[in-house]
Structure 1
Amino acid sequence: MSGIVGYIGKSSAESILLDCLTHLDYRGYDSAGIAISNQEKIEIRKEIGRIEDLKTLLEMEPITGGNIGIGHTRWASHGSPTISNAHPLSDDQSQFYVVHNGIIENYRQLKNELITKGHVFCTDTDTEVIPHLLVQHDTGNFEETVRKVLPLLKGSFALAIMSKHQPDTIIGISQENPLIIGFGQNEAFLSSDISALLSYAKEIYPIKNGEIAILKANEIKVQTIEGETIKPEKRIIEWTEDDFSLQGYEHYMLKEIMEQPKAIKNTLEGRLTENGVNIPELEPFLKESFEYRKIDIVANGTSYHSGMIGKKVMETLLDIPVEVSISSEFRYEHGPLSEKNLVIVISQSGETADTLSALREAKQYGCKTIAITNKRRGNIARKADYTICTNAGPELAVPATKAYTTQITALYLLAIALTEKTKGHGLDRIPEMLKELHQLPEEVEKTLIMTQDAIDQFAQVTEDQYRLFLIGRGLDYVLALEGALKLQEVAYLHADAYAAGEMKHGTMALITPGVPVIALSTQKHLRDKTISNIKEIKARDAFVVGVTTIGDDDVSEIVDEVMYIPEVHPFLMPIIAAIPLQLLAYYAGTVRGYNVDRPRNLAKSLTVE
């Protein structure tokens, strides 16, 4: 969450920083700001709101000249979204200028110490202690001062810093929080995400923990905190500008929903064979003896729902208990852990702070770890023992869509590989799963065609609603949880998901005439029971929309409206049935007039706990 950019070269820093920040606003859009040096002085402009608001301010109050600068787009974690709390931040003597992602965990202690020494603070942020510390420990040498201050900071953070006394230099630091150097033609960039660099650089280097990047107009140095020079191993950017463009769609969310057939195909490619599953990234792991007593799946939000699907499938196929945990709880509430636990962590961004903490916790106990992520070079991928990259391509809308379906796909591949490895009791179910996995991208494409227009019409029903219920059993219940989350974050509906059989144990009191209920019925072996639950709700005059498979007349006869989807293997139905729920959230959000790509109070990459 929050985005950092930096530029040093011969072009206008203002225009480049604004363009880069525009590509990072999915990381935070509460406020934005830039600081630019013209080699004589450093000027700051900050504004609440999105990058467009900052651009408007700069049209009225331009920064004249300057080809060195840093910028930031903020998701507020410490202090409300105000101009004073917006980054860049400086000290009370305007000597150092800082943009910051992450959390300084000991900032209260540092702030109190600095106040006793006469420093005056004017924001509610943890970030403000950094420029004050730089002033307090200033040696007269910018690099030495930064090296002196860094050990005082506890937490996970990325920083870009400028100094009034050395205005030709930017220093970048990454500590458990992403920051990337971009190498251009006689110019250099910093960014917390590759998306900001695509128009300017083809080669990058992710700054590692314990490293400092020193950017000057004529040289880029990477050193350890102790001062030892490191030769950065440059990497080619794999994504293109087309991957980050809207390509004719009105919103990224709709584009990414429609990209799911391709994204799932990419997840399967090179891993799904005619007769089995081959995951090259896991070859060393799968060659080892398998002596694990338990599998733990750990994730947040939508990724947690993916993990819940993975748990149900793995427990059906394997002879090993599987538990799924919320990342933010796992670190403090996990059961016994040892080298006999296999821990699977899931994160679209590969930077989720809670999941990183859970991963570190698991490794402290000697657990073997596998990451499922969309960023093969993210922190989580670097720290896990093994990584399965979903290869879904960039996901720029804050609500996760193709991340969800590709994570489930990756979990299915892993479940099959582990079942084949251990000769699990579900081994005889593998051939049918393999056959249908080959057809999965086509079935998702078919679902998109079948449901898009009908869901758009149903979304009109939600315009004047303030609550909605989703019900289902088994895998459909997990799907209901994900559908409710999407409606909450995109349409701001009070959407609640329930296991269908639990409605009569209290929640039925909330069912009133006309209240919308989405009843999911995609699992044949649970259909009769689900139908009974639907009848109970209909008896209270709710408006029920059924989501079921083609040819299911039993559900269609008792609901007010029905949404048909293709029938595939029961394990694959959570992917197919996710499509109409994603589309419903999208159209419900747009019909209610909301920015579905940038929901209020949310950000894409949650790099703070």
Structure 2
Amino acid sequence: MSGILGYMGKRNAIPILLEGLEQLSYRGYDSAGIAVFSEEKELQIRKAVGRINQLRNFLLHEPVKPGNSGIGHTRWATHGVPSITNCHPLTGCGEQFIVAHNGIIENFPQLRRTLLQEGHIFSTDTDTEVIPHLLEKYDTGDLEQTIREILPLLRGSFALAIMSKAQPQVIVGVSQDNPLVVGFGKSESFLTSDITALLPYTRETYPIKNGEIAILEPEKVTIKSTAGEVREPKRTIVEWNVQDVSLQEFEHYMLKEITEQTKSVEDTLAGRISEKGIVLPELDPLLLAGSLSKITRVHIIASGTSYHSGSIGKKVMDQLLNIPVETSYSSEFQYDHPPLDEQTLIIVLSQSGETADTLSALREAKRFQSPIIAITNTPGSTVSRKADSTVYTKAGPELAVATTKSYTCQITVLIMLAIWLAEKLGSRDLHPLPELMTELKRLPEYVDSTLIMTQDAIDQFAQVTYDQEHLFLIGRGLDYVLALEGALKLQEVAYIHADAYAAGELKHGTMALITPGVPVIALATQNQVMDKLISNIKEVKARDAFVVGITTIGDELLSEVVDQVLYIPNSHPFLMPILAAIPLQLLAYYSGTVRGHDVDRPRNLAKSLTVE
């Protein structure tokens, strides 16, 4: 979603803000702006609709004097259309206070109505604009104290970066259920919605918590409670570096991240497999507290791609555990969930650790004292702080909007977690675990082979989809869940109307959509349902569909019934959704590029959904 950046230091803030906003652009945005105080303390605001380059071009025609303090913003519209007027940073009736905001002020209609009655003049359609007007209304002459006055009036989820004309050498950051991170440099400091924007300057960070404010001044950063109590921040050193967020030789982040999956899966497995089993010391607190000994069921909660990886995890756990396992969309769970208690283990998945719907679902589960395990890629994220225990994926930064390596790493963690739970809780049958463990150790090798085997072939198939507006994916069991993720990827980056179906359900209505030449991708990696799947393929072939099969090396049945076949390495059935995801990711990538789309920044989409 929207991104915030703030800089306070000795350097010229303008290039730092622009480069940082470029890094934040993967979150999704439709406009961008900066506000900088010049060395003469003159406030300068510049905004543009479109990409960061539009803002850069505007600055060439309307230059900004150098200054060492400023804030910037990339806006993803929620209230009000994308426009210069609605673009942040925003001010009130005058330019006393300058605000960049991510999130939603839920009670802004009531606040706006009262402010209008008091004579305040609004110029935007945004919920954000009530904030600078409130700051004007309750101005105490001290920025920090004025912010404390208005915070109790705001309801919702928000992150704020605020400056004032009266104190141009102060930036205040506020976070309420919305990510905002302080970065500590040498005689300089930063505010950002995402640590990727900090990597060129510092790796020393602190996420601002609910009930805290950060005051950035020259040479120092102070963290206080909203009541004014000074707190000593526990700084975190980020493991990522600048190379992790650079394109290097790749044209797009999406392709770079697909090809990084060998390393990301290897890093996710590292140190977690021993001769005795799966090693997850992060979960020891749950064992010591005795929480797991009471577990009678498991509930997996996630959104989007994370929901698909959670659905794979559910099917694996169904086979390995002797307790019921359910899945729910985060957005539905908080309003409609089964009975919860201390015996229900909750597993929440979020790549960013800041997904608003997932955080709401997590809070709902905590009301019933259910033990919660988080799986996320982002240390220090809100999900990791709110859960009882966190297992981190090691995917590294993921800057393309479409999730690829985080998806395969989430499944990898879920399989390890399923084995770990089977060992700790007891299982109906531990016999399959040694074979699964052996294959799990070889998973990076299989991923690497899959990338080598499929990239060129998928590029060729993407040409077939060039003039197609509809595409279908079919599969059974684990392959059906994977088909759902493959369809989502094609929708996200190629803008193809792609639908996934359980193959056995085609004849119950969907067959009416199969017309001559329509592309159908048949996923065939699960041997126990191969015969049934081949029958389904014959049904769509009888309607003249163009069928591409994805199967394992050594399978000779599929090639006889499809138009084109793509082979991937053969491994344990539980691991096949990881390997078979790769050609689907590549298909989405090449289908998007052949159509001329910006695959890293799909239209209308954002990477981290920090508003509900």
What does residue 158 of structure 2 align with? 157
What does residue 8 of structure 2 align with? 8
What does residue 553 of structure 1 align with? 556
Separation in structure 2 between the aligned mates of residue 443 and residue 274 of structure 1, nearest angstrom: 21
Deviation at 1:237, TM superposition (A): 2.5
Q: String of CA shifts for 1:75-115, please: whole Å, max 9, x gaps.
A: 21222211111110111222111001111111111111111
Separation in structure 2 between the aligned mates of residue 290 and residue 563 of structure 1, nearest angstrom: 45
Deviation at 1:421, TM superposition (A): 1.0
What does residue 414 of structure 2 align with? 411
Separation in structure 2 between the aligned mates of residue 279 and residue 202 of structure 1, nearest angstrom: 26
Deviation at 1:269, TM superposition (A): 0.8
Separation in structure 2 between the aligned mates of residue 135 and residue 580 of structure 1, nearest angstrom: 55
Q: Does 1:590 align with 2:593?
A: yes
Deviation at 1:504, TM superposition (A): 1.0
Aligned 8 A contact 1:8 1:67 in 2: yes
What does residue 24 of structure 1 align with? 24
Q: Does 1:375 align with 2:378?
A: yes
Q: Unaligned regions of 5+ residues in structure 1, if any?
A: none
**Equivalent residues in 2 for 1:289-304 (5 A)?**
289-304=292-307
Q: Does 1:83 align with 2:87?
A: no
| Identity among equivalent pairs (%) | 65
What does residue 42 of structure 2 align with? 41
Separation in structure 1 between the aligned mates of residue 44 and residue 54 of structure 2, nearest angstrom: 18
Deviation at 1:33, TM superposition (A): 0.3
Separation in structure 1 between the aligned mates of residue 361 and residue 76 of structure 2, nearest angstrom: 23
SS at match of 1:222: strand
What does residue 393 of structure 1 align with? 396
SS at match of 1:200: coil
What does residue 56 of structure 2 align with? 55
What does residue 581 of structure 2 align with? 578
What does residue 509 of structure 2 align with? 506
Separation in structure 2 between the aligned mates of residue 236 and residue 319 of structure 1, nearest angstrom: 40
Deviation at 1:28, TM superposition (A): 2.2
What does residue 487 of structure 2 align with? 484
Q: 2:323 aligns with which of 303, 308, 320?
A: 320
The one-letter amino acid of 1:401's match is T
The one-letter amino acid of 1:361's match is E
The one-letter amino acid of 1:14's match is I
Deviation at 1:270, TM superposition (A): 1.1
Aligned 8 A contact 1:350 1:373 in 2: yes
Q: Does 1:192 align with 2:193?
A: yes
The one-letter amino acid of 2:42's match is K
Deviation at 1:233, TM superposition (A): 2.2
Of the structure 1 ranges 209-218 and 301-310, higher mean CA displacement relative to structure 2 is found in 209-218
Separation in structure 2 between the aligned mates of residue 413 and residue 98 of structure 1, nearest angstrom: 44
Q: 2:338 aligns with which of 332, 335, 340?
A: 335
Deviation at 1:219, TM superposition (A): 2.6
Aligned 8 A contact 1:473 1:501 in 2: yes
Separation in structure 2 between the aligned mates of residue 524 and residue 377 of structure 1, nearest angstrom: 41
Deviation at 1:192, TM superposition (A): 1.0
Aligned 8 A contact 1:178 1:192 in 2: yes
TM-score (norm 2): 0.98
Q: 1:457 aligns with which of 455, 460, 471?
A: 460
Deviation at 1:495, TM superposition (A): 0.3
The one-letter amino acid of 2:504's match is G
Deviation at 1:41, TM superposition (A): 2.4
Of the structure 1 ranges 582-591 and 417-426, higher mean CA displacement relative to structure 2 is found in 417-426
Deviation at 1:527, TM superposition (A): 0.5
Separation in structure 2 between the aligned mates of residue 466 and residue 123 of structure 1, nearest angstrom: 38
SS at match of 1:168: coil
Deviation at 1:600, TM superposition (A): 0.6
Aligned 8 A contact 1:261 1:442 in 2: yes
What does residue 572 of structure 2 align with? 569
Aligned 8 A contact 1:29 1:51 in 2: no
Separation in structure 1 between the aligned mates of residue 28 and residue 496 of structure 2, nearest angstrom: 22
What does residue 540 of structure 1 align with? 543
Q: 1:521 aligns with which of 517, 521, 524?
A: 524
Of the structure 1 ranges 38-47 and 319-328, higher mean CA displacement relative to structure 2 is found in 38-47
What does residue 146 of structure 1 align with? 147
Q: Does 1:600 align with 2:611?
A: no
Separation in structure 2 between the aligned mates of residue 15 and residue 35 of structure 1, nearest angstrom: 12
SS at match of 1:101: strand
Separation in structure 2 between the aligned mates of residue 400 and residue 373 of structure 1, nearest angstrom: 13
Separation in structure 2 between the aligned mates of residue 123 and residue 323 of structure 1, nearest angstrom: 44
Q: String of CA shifts for 1:372-425, please: whole Å, max 9, x gaps.
A: 000121000000000000111111111000111000000011100110112211
SS at match of 2:256: helix
SS at match of 2:431: helix
What does residue 66 of structure 1 align with? 67
The one-letter amino acid of 1:2's match is S
Q: String of CA shifts for 1:29-54, please: whole Å, max 9, x gaps.
A: 21100001125321110111111111
Separation in structure 2 between the aligned mates of residue 349 and residue 426 of structure 1, nearest angstrom: 35
What does residue 103 of structure 1 align with? 104
Separation in structure 1 between the aligned mates of residue 294 and residue 231 of structure 2, nearest angstrom: 40
Deviation at 1:188, TM superposition (A): 1.3
Separation in structure 1 between the aligned mates of residue 286 and residue 177 of structure 2, nearest angstrom: 26
Deviation at 1:16, TM superposition (A): 1.1
The one-letter amino acid of 2:17's match is L
Q: String of CA shifts for 1:326-366, please: whole Å, max 9, x gaps.
A: 00000001111111111000000011000000000000111
SS at match of 1:308: helix
Q: String of CA shifts for 1:541-576, please: whole Å, max 9, x gaps.
A: 010101111122211111110111111111111001
Deviation at 1:284, TM superposition (A): 2.5
Q: Does 1:495 align with 2:498?
A: yes
Deviation at 1:273, TM superposition (A): 1.1
Q: Does 1:136 align with 2:143?
A: no
Instruction: Report how many residues are paired.
Output: 609
Separation in structure 2 between the aligned mates of residue 236 and residue 574 of structure 1, nearest angstrom: 33
What does residue 282 of structure 1 align with? 283
**Equivalent residues in 2 for 1:201-212 (5 A)?**
201-212=202-213
Q: Does 1:115 align with 2:102?
A: no
SS at match of 1:296: strand
SS at match of 1:578: helix
Residues 426, 596 of structure 1: alpha-carbon distance in 2 compared, 3 angstrom cutoff: farther
Deviation at 1:308, TM superposition (A): 0.4
Superposition CA RMSD, Å: 1.0
Separation in structure 2 between the aligned mates of residue 258 and residue 410 of structure 1, nearest angstrom: 19
Separation in structure 2 between the aligned mates of residue 94 and residue 521 of structure 1, nearest angstrom: 62
Aligned 8 A contact 1:376 1:387 in 2: no
SS at match of 1:311: helix
